[in-house]
């Protein structure tokens, strides 16, 4: 792109993201399909059409947020996998750029699969990604911006050294992918991990490099597990013990712990531990699957996540692919499949034993019409409609106040899996303290509704808080996902207040319990409770009286997610 074109486009972006309508250079695409689109989201990131999956290589570069993702340019089902590219000034409003990487070389002809970006020592970004070669074997490749002075990073050039890494001995060629963001050790060498499995055990293979092109495999993996299989999309990064601010991936020192995330069993699990940068030894607290309370980013539909350090605002940001819960034929009719979670800030909790997550602050710029309640009593078996906002496109925060907790139900020691417990004690099963929470995407007669709720149990002179998302009555449609999800909150209900924040966006429900202690994401496909026919209720189906100490709910404006008007050829 000529310099003049870059400057004009950058100016249009600046005006656009500051609320100025820009007619030149930007235009909306028509709907990808003539069929009704009640499930297209308004403020979650998704392309205008076709398939998307894993988030790839998010970063902040020269004042702009960049986001890449797995994309099929030619259809709504998986295939022809490329790296699509979008930019933003606020993580909420986006402009789609040209596809950054397409499968057109022998080492990636069958797909440019997932990977990461790393900001190198000279300040320039580099992409590490997995390619599927002519034999569908997985190899690791490298790409650089054609022009590092271009803040939009529109064009990328694949390294002449590709593939820079091939599958090592003992690893299947189909189980070697998804390089992480690299970090630099005190010895001046880069490290990176690649997801794999050996003898049906998941592992993160560790490599080191002095120049980011020539890599040497470590004699030992960074970590492995004999209780899991293939690890996809590994992520490894430091978190501060003392503060909420995020840390650059290469930071070392005192009061720092390290998170290792791996995607397997359709979920994103993480562990916490201490990393020795001199020996590359990672000593973990509780390993993957060693406890039935294994830590996850999200206990619902949330997979292949990727984080990055936002140097501008000193925070770590997390994204995840949220896949569909309907059928491939539905996706073909819609003309699209998949979306991304709202970007989340993540940090270590005060106890130092789990991560906290919260939607990025910028999301609040989409708040518009607001309703507010305080000190509203909720008797057993009652509900209150939250009216005055757009119920299919909303942000709701509610705090419940409790008392007389000694009346709570006793939790059987035999039931320790929260998802099983949520299924047994779903939203229609009345208890003492709970279920209480929100009913979203509810039809007026409640035939359709999705319930996000809490239930309090007593166990061995202690209490446990269960958080559930019940989709069992979410739709009259017969062939859509109606799972019930569950998680325990590491929260003492004797503090007398429990909070819930829920983001509602046409077919997605992202919920944050206990100010981000546990998160549950669901995809919902109602047939009645769509658009202006949707309702939201606060409810209490338990026998004990409780109260809403505060409730704030907002209608959400539509995020601006637009394409470039003129498409350019992808890189050669």
Q: Which residues are catalytic?
A: 54
Residues 6+ apart with CB under 8 A from 496: 401, 402, 403
Per-position DSSP letters for 517-562, written without gaps between them: TEEEEEE---SSS-GGG-EEEEEE-SSS-EEEEEEEEEEEPPP-EE
Query: How far apart, in whole angstroms, are the C-alpha atoms of residue 166 and residue 178?
Result: 13
Query: How far apart, in whole angstroms, are the C-alpha atoms of residue 519 and residue 297?
Result: 7
Query: How far apart, in whole angstroms, are the C-alpha atoms of residue 397 and residue 467?
Result: 15
Query: How far apart, in whole angstroms, are the C-alpha atoms of residue 24 and residue 31?
Result: 20
Question: CA end-to-end span of the chain, whole Å?
Answer: 15
Query: How far apart, in whole angstroms, are the C-alpha atoms of residue 319 and residue 70?
Result: 13
Selection from 328, 270, 340 nearest residue 480 by Cα? 328
Residue 290 dihedral angles phi and psi, to the nearest 5°: -80, -15
Residues 6+ apart with CB under 8 A from 150: 1, 6
CB atoms within 10 A of CB 284: 16
Selection from 267, 294, 290 nearest residue 417 by Cα? 294
Query: How far apart, in whole angstroms, are the C-alpha atoms of residue 183 and residue 238?
Result: 10
Query: How far apart, in whole angstroms, are the C-alpha atoms of residue 524 and residue 518?
Result: 20
CB-based contact 8:25 (threshold 8 Å): yes
Q: 521 pairs with which residues across the strands?
A: 510
CB-based contact 151:7 (threshold 8 Å): no
In order of 122, 482, 506, the CA distances from 477 in angstroms are 54, 10, 16
CB-based contact 320:305 (threshold 8 Å): yes
If 0-12 CB within 10 Å is exposed, 13-18 middle and 19+ buried, where does residue 151 land? middle
CB atoms within 10 A of CB 368: 14
CB atoms within 10 A of CB 506: 23
DSSP reduced 3-state for 155: coil
CB-based contact 143:158 (threshold 8 Å): yes
Q: Residues 269, 273, 277, CA angle at the centre, nearest 5°?
A: 120
Q: Residues 127, 130, 134, CA angle at the centre, nearest 5°?
A: 130
**Element containing residue 361 per DSSP (H, E):** none
- Give the distance from CA 446 to its chain's centroid: 29
CB-based contact 226:201 (threshold 8 Å): yes
Residue ranges of the alpha helices (H) in 222-308?
none
């Amino acid at each position: 792109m000529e310099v003049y074109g870059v400057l004009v486009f950058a100016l249009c972006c600046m005006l656009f993201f500051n609320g100025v309508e820009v007619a030149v250079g930007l235009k909306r695409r028509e709907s990808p399909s003539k069929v009704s689109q009640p499930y297209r989201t308004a403020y979650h990131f998704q392309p205008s059409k076709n398939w998307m999956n894993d988030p790839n290589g998010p970063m902040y570069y020269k004042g702009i947020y960049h986001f890449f993702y797995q994309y099929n340019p030619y259809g709504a089902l998986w295939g022809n996998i490329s790296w699509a590219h979008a930019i933003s000034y606020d993580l909420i409003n986006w402009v789609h750029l040209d596809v950054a990487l397409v499968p057109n070389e022998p080492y990636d002809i069958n797909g440019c699969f997932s990977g990461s970006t790393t900001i190198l020592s000279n300040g320039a970004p580099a992409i590490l990604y997995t390619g599927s070669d002519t034999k569908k074997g997985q190899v690791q490749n490298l790409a650089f911006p054609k022009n590092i002075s271009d803040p939009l990073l529109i064009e990328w050039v694949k390294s002449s050294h590709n593939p820079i890494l091939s599958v090592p001995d003992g690893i299947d060629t189909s189980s070697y992918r998804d390089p992480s963001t690299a970090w630099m050790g005190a010895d001046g060498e880069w490290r990176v991990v690649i997801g794999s499995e050996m003898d049906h055990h998941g592992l993160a293979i560790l490599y080191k490099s002095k120049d980011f092109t020539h890599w040497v495999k470590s004699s030992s993996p960074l970590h492995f597990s004999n209780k899991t299989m293939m690890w996809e999309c590994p992520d490894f990064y430091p978190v501060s013990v003392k503060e909420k601010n995020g840390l650059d991936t290469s930071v070392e020192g005192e009061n720092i712990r390290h998170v290792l995330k791996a995607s397997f069993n359709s979920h994103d699990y993480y562990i916490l531990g201490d990393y020795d940068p001199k020996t590359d030894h990672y000593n973990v607290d509780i390993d993957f699957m060693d406890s039935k309370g294994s830590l996850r980013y999200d206990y619902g539909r949330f997979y292949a996540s990727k984080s990055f350090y936002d140097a501008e605002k000193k925070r770590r940001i997390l994204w995840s692919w949220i896949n569909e819960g309907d059928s491939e034929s539905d996706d073909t009719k819609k003309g699209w499949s998949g979306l991304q979670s709202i970007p989340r800030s993540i940090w270590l909790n005060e106890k130092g034993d789990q991560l906290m997550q919260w939607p990025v602050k910028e999301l609040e710029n989409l708040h518009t019409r607001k309703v507010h309640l305080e000190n509203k009593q909720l008797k057993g078996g009652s509900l209150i409609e939250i009216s005055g906002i757009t119920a299919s496109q909303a942000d709701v925060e509610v705090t419940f106040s409790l008392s007389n907790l000694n009346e709570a139900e006793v939790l059987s020691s035999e039931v320790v899996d929260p998802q099983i417990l949520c299924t047994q004690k779903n939203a229609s099963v009345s208890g003492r303290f709970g279920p209480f929470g929100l009913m979203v995407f509810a039809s007026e007669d409640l035939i359709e509704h999705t319930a996000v709720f809490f239930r309090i149990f007593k166990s061995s002179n202690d209490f446990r808080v269960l958080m559930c998302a019940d989709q069992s009555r979410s739709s009259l449609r017969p062939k859509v996902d109606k799972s019930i999800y569950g998680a325990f909150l590491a929260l003492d209900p004797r503090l007398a207040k429990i909070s819930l924040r829920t983001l509602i966006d046409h077919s997605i429900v992202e919920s944050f319990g206990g100010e981000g202690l546990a998160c549950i994401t669901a995809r919902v496909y109602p047939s009645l409770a769509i658009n202006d026919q949707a309702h939201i209720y606060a409810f209490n189906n338990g026998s004990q009286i409780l109260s809403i100490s505060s409730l704030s709910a907002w209608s959400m404006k539509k995020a601006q997610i637009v394409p470039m008007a003129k498409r350019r050829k992808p890189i050669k």
